[in-house]
Amino acid sequence: MSPVSALDRKTFVNRFGGVYEHSIWIAESTWDRGLTPREDAAAGLHAAMIDIVDLAGREPQLRLLCAHPDLAGKRAIQQKLTTESEAEQASAGLDECSVDELSELKACNARYRSLFGFPYILAVRGQTVQAILGNFRSRIKNDPATEFQEALSQVHQIALLRLKSLLD
């Protein structure tokens, strides 16, 4: 397999365009900026993609956050998640919530969106539903600026996990 830094734009974007949920522009901008052997490893490619997001500014960052689905939300129930999101939510048992857990998740999702204007985002791989609900309850107390940065941090964590699965 060719190293990442040797990939043409189309191949690179096809392979890494889904790393950030419905935000192919990050892969496109990463390739456009130029790839070096540093980006052949997940950590290096991740750092390059973070730079793209950081330099994009608040509005593109907000669109990136809004591209994410609610946890165990409408898209999940209607089976309209990306393959990556579906697998991540299933790994945390969100596809098998009890009625009470699902009801609490829905209420938390609605409250969170009304407070912050974007969906609650958490790198859920390997977590339990109860841990996710605890995190939800804690983060809903954050101020908007803190939560915006935390949500971006979670998006980057999700991206790193996806990159590692693609490159390892």
* Confidence band of 79 (pLDDT split at 50, 70, 90): low
Closest C-alpha among 89, 27, 25, 99 to residue 59: 25
Instruction: Tell me whether residue 68 is one of the annotated catalytic residues.
Output: yes
Please tell me the distance from the alpha carbon of residue 71 to that of residue 83, in angstroms, as a whole number.
14
Please tell me the distance from the alpha carbon of residue 30 to that of residue 26, in angstroms, as a whole number.
6
Judge whether residue 2 has pLDDT over 90.
no
Closest C-alpha among 138, 160, 133, 139 to residue 151: 139
Q: 149-165 pLDDT, tens per residue?
A: 999 999 999 999 999 99
Judge whether residue 69 has pLDDT over 90.
no
Closest C-alpha among 167, 161, 150, 160 to residue 46: 160
Catalytic residue, candidates 22, 46, 68, 156: 68
Q: 104-142 pLDDT, tens per residue?
A: 999 999 999 999 999 999 999 889 999 999 999 999 999
Q: Taking the CB of residue 120, how many other CB atoms lie within 10 A of it? A: 26
